[in-house]
Amino acid sequence: MLKKPPSCVAAVDLGSNSFHMIVCSLTDGKLQTIDRLKEMVRLASGLDSNNHLDFDTQERALACLERFGQRIRHFSPESVRIVGTSTLRTARNAAQFLEKAEIALNHPIHIISGIEEARLIYQGVANSLSSKANLRLVMDIGGGSTEYIIGSGDNPLDKESLPMGCVTTSNLFFENGKISKSAFNQAVLFAQRRLEPFQQKFQKQNWDEAIGASGSLKAIDKVLLAKNWSNNGITRDGLEQLVQHIYTCQNINTLNLPDLDAERLPVFVGGVAIVYATFKSLGITQMTISDGALREGLIHDLLGRIYDHDIRSGTVRQIAERYHVDLQHASRVKHTIDYLLSQLKDTYFQIDIEQARQFLHWAAELHELGRDIAHNQYHKHSAYVIEYGDFAGFSRQDQVLLAVIVRSHRRKFALKLFETLPAPLNVDAPKLALLLRLAVLLHRNRQDYEVPLFNCEWEKSKIKIRFPSGWLDSSPLTRADLLYEAEHLKIAGLKLEFA
């Protein structure tokens, strides 16, 4: 746990339709919401046919983030979590936009997978809505994706993220706001086809209560209540009446629905089509609406990190056990990593030393998971699973960093692998990989024995290791391994000296 937890925490959700920010006070582990900001940016509408985010949309988004940044710019790094979702997963030029966005916010932005988004949404709902249901279906419609989760209590059990959202569906079927019965039915069929492979898993017999968590679902709920088509959340009968009304309109401007915000209007019908398809496909008759969603899930996830309940550590342990990793060996490697870290100067890393330790410990636990796939080139198999697997709690950047460290822990040390990482990780990741390489090398015999106390000095491109007198003479295999390591590092422009 941090020596002193922050007094305020914040979470920002860069969604494909809206950007959301929540700020909470934190006292004795208790949260109190003190500020909420929301702006409808419609990031997904800025994607062209080549999945490039256009200039005007970027400028609109950055202007919003400048305003958000004024509120959280001076928050400590450990007190803020910011994530990007569907559109930033898709945009080919996301990296260029994120560089400017991080300057506006003065905090890093992490891109999360659809499955991680679903997990966080469920956490937000579970901590915001009282429910006695044993199993809950949670649905969240974003601008570019829709998430479905079945969970019990605080635990999400089944999660899916489908590539359809209120913005993308509206752009596909209701261009320039035009509506027709045929277009609406096509949009419903489009959503049903996306849901079809998962229909059986999320059918009504598999849960006790349906809960909706998004701006689209809240808007539909408000419209149904205002029209007296439903007074108990979103109902199948109420939806049928709303759909019949949409059939009579030729343009979104003629919908004339009470309590429907003008900002929501351009993407409303696309959202209705997804909800209607979901109700029909899954047999839903009634859905309760929750105020909690992704940003609340982020806050509670952040709370876990602050109070030493980081879900990422649990995920790493589960993955290690699934792939039958030798955890005793991993523990030896972690012990030596800690010894190496204790000898580093405070200025060695640009990132926080505890963050470095955390990633190195995870790397130590996972560096051999590829052995369960194939012994030959196992470090590459390990890196592939880490980069592309569903790792609860990890962002895309987290997984790429961890994968690169593990990929580089043996054999060739290719500096080009680190070049695509964002600053300062592109500078620090090679150093992290070198620490893992040395720790693994010193435990190659996989036996329970204490590595002797040794001195290690790090100077830019040179590493000097001094063992107790006579120890290397009695350890010829370690000497040979160090000689091979020196050759690998020499090719990468690094020098390893030992005695």
Length, in residues, of the chain: 499
Decide: helix, strand or coil at residue 496: strand
Q: Tell whether the model's pLDDT for residue 130 goes beyond 80.
A: no
Higher-scoring residue by pLDDT: 446, 321:
321
List, for residues 344-381, the tens digit of each pLDDT value: 888 889 888 999 999 999 999 999 999 999 999 999 99
- Confidence at residue 224, expressed as pLDDT on a 0 to 100 scale: 97
Average pLDDT over residues 389-397: 95
| 244-260 pLDDT tens trace | 999 999 999 999 999 99
| Percent of the residues in the chain that have a pLDDT greater than 90, as a whole number | 90
Q: Give the pLDDT band of residue 443 (cuts 50, 70, 90).
A: very high
Q: Where does the pLDDT of residue 4 fall: very low under 50, low under 70, confident under 90, or very high at 90 and above?
A: confident
pLDDT, average across residues 207-215: 96
In this predicted structure, the answer to whether residue 132 has a pLDDT above a threshold of 80 is no
Give me the mean pLDDT over the 96-115 stretch: 96
Q: What is the per-residue DSSP string for 435-492?
A: HHHHHHHTTTT--S-PPPP-EEEEETTEEEEEPPTTTGGG-HHHHHHHHHHHHHHHHT
pLDDT at position 481 over 70: yes
In contact, 149 and 121? CB cutoff 8 Å:
yes
Residue 29's pLDDT band (cuts 50, 70, 90): confident
Is the pLDDT reported for residue 35 higher than 60? yes
Question: Rounded CA gap, 375 and 388, in Å?
Answer: 20
The CA-to-CA distance between both ends of the chain, in Å, stands at 39
State the Cα–Cα distance between residues 217 and 233, nearest whole angstrom: 9
- pLDDT bracket for residue 3 (50, 70, 90): low
- Tokens encoding 435: 């620490």
Mean per-residue pLDDT, 297-306: 94
Domains of the chain and CATH, by start: 8-112+296-303 (3.30.420.40), 129-290 (3.30.420.150), 310-452 (1.10.3210.10)
Average pLDDT for 403-413: 96
Residue 266 near residue 252, CB atoms below 8 Å: yes
Span 452-466, mean pLDDT?
91
* Burial status of residue 362 (CB atoms within 10 A of its CB: 0-12, 13-18, 19 or more): buried
Q: What is the pTM of this model?
A: 0.93
